[in-house]
Chains A and B, each alone.
Chain A
């Protein structure tokens, strides 16, 4: 059976975190959908709170601490990404954006990405499409059509009418289909030569 890895980035700051909760739901559902497609899922969870200092340090020094470098490698090597941020002041959190800022160019190119977000009110839900989706479009990743927003009423059970689970299931199925039909991710080596010196000399 083939195996595919999903990196799950949760940008929540509190513990316990509703962002983490949504990330877990999405990861579990995507894992099940992959299994249904005959693919063994491997889930790598990354909580940004654990790396908050390293993220700021990397912004200031220009290089990742060794523990954070492994996080970046995990994302680069994953076959799909589930990215979940809390919505603060009309957009993804600063920590979440800083994390994306630190991924080397091309890290997410052609990588299927499921976007998710949480917020204190359902009125924030459009941030998925006016903030998260353009951000990942810039990275040239393949953002799957369904994004999942979880508002307080979704966690309340009846009020959300169970529709959160439906959205999670639909998004997970879309992500799994994209991941399953692709070859495994091949992260680029930043130290590899991509042109011959003759080409460089010729100005190509």
Chain B
């Protein structure tokens, strides 16, 4: 049941996925999983310090480093990918900027940077991939939101706003693009064991180990989620088994959010 990335019918070419924010964490795990499921994978991140190219080589894909808050980046990436791999069948909107601070102390530039990357940046990347998906007659857009976009979190107003905005975008795109065969869904993870935990630990003024323990206590299943858990959810939403799933928000969070979005 796992990925069936053939582009259906007469065309045996492998389907193409673009993953933003793929240098590490969830993005990297997702790129590896989609490649294992048979996709050609283009990997984006804000810069290539060598990890992106290495990952691209590992998955037999292409590296397209770009700052997605730059309006020119989306069309440029799509053009490179089209030339190297073909049109994008699956977009995984994962890149995120994050900074924590109390609302009134937040630096406006830092606050808005999170909106610019997470929400506006992906809006533009989505705009760039839609014409190709329309031409294909199908497509999948998988948006990585956050449990904090569902239930909020102190000292994370910008991040939560950007991620909640992505949920609303998911629902709107689901309705708008569904009739064209383009399915949009979101995933709202909560506490994943990634390098992001270090940011949270610094904000709380505690060690990484203490941060892990503190989060475990907030999770009903008492386990941090792994990047592979989230990659599996992406693989489901990108694969053949989710053909009736549209405009939904999956919450593989160990029960943290416990609510509909």
Q: Do A and B bind each other?
A: no
Point out residues on A near B: beta carbons under 8 Å: none
